[in-house]
């Protein structure tokens, strides 16, 4: 091996080492910043959990959020008394299919077998015979807070 080849080989090795160190440093930095920590749910001392904002409820016609473990809540505004909000378990009491708010009919509907509920969770039409489970709800400013009976 002549002197020129040795110098060329050493130079390539040195450059390769520097590039590896730079790539490793960059990838370490990316992984630490690419996954932001999950936001912690805002909870009050009396067990209410913030589930959204009134402006989002009014824009979308309803709020459907996971608020405790895998427990979900459906928040709707009562069309008869618009100051009243209802927070309900969005699981049908017939055979546990998910229900959702129907803006056109102003009712909560289960697509599995057609049960229909009032905005307060009372049954309008079966086969479900029991109302939707309701949660405590309060509004502070624009924030909507919900508390399940279990908490
Ligand atoms: S599961 Fe909802 S109507 Fe049957």
Residue-wise DSSP of 104-140: TTTEEEETTT--EE-TTS-EEESS--SPPPEEEEEEE
139 vs 32, which has greater pLDDT? 139
Does 128 sit in the ligand 1 pocket, CB within 6 Å?
yes
Buried b (16+ CB within 10 A) or exposed e, 65-81: bebbeebbbbbbbeeee
Checking if the pLDDT of 17 tops 90, the result is: no
Tens digit of each residue's pLDDT (9 = 90 or more) over 72-116: 999 999 998 888 999 999 999 999 999 999 999 999 999 999 999
The percentage of residues in the chain with a pLDDT greater than 90, rounded to a whole number, is: 55
Q: Of 98, 113, 116, which is best to mutate to test ligand 1, by the most ligand atoms within 8 angstroms of its C-beta?
A: 113
The burial of 138, by beta-carbon neighbours within 10 Å (0-12 exposed, 13-18 middle, 19 or more buried), is given as middle
Q: Of 93, 107, 110, which is best to mutate to test ligand 1, by the most ligand atoms within 8 angstroms of its C-beta?
A: 110
Q: What is the rounded CA–CA span in Å between residue 49 and residue 67? A: 7
Q: Predicted confidence band at 47 (pLDDT cuts at 50, 70, 90)?
A: confident
pLDDT at position 20 = 46
pLDDT at position 39 = 45
């Amino acid at each position: 091996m002549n002197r020129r080849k040795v110098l060329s080989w050493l130079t390539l090795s040195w450059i390769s080492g520097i590039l590896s160190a730079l790539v490793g440093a960059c990838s370490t930095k990316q992984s630490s910043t690419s996954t932001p920590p999950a936001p912690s749910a805002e909870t009050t001392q009396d067990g209410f959990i913030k589930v959204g904002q009134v402006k989002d409820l009014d824009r979308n016609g309803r709020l459907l959020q996971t608020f405790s473990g895998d427990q979900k809540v459906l928040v709707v505004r009562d069309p008869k008394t618009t100051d009243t909000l209802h927070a309900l378990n969005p699981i049908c009491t017939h055979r546990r299919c998910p229900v959702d708010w129907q803006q056109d009919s102003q009712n909560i509907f289960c697509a599995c077998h057609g049960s229909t509920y009032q905005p307060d969770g009372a049954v309008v039409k079966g086969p479900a015979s029991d109302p939707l489970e309701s949660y405590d709800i309060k509004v502070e400013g624009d924030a909507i807070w919900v508390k399940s009976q279990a908490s």
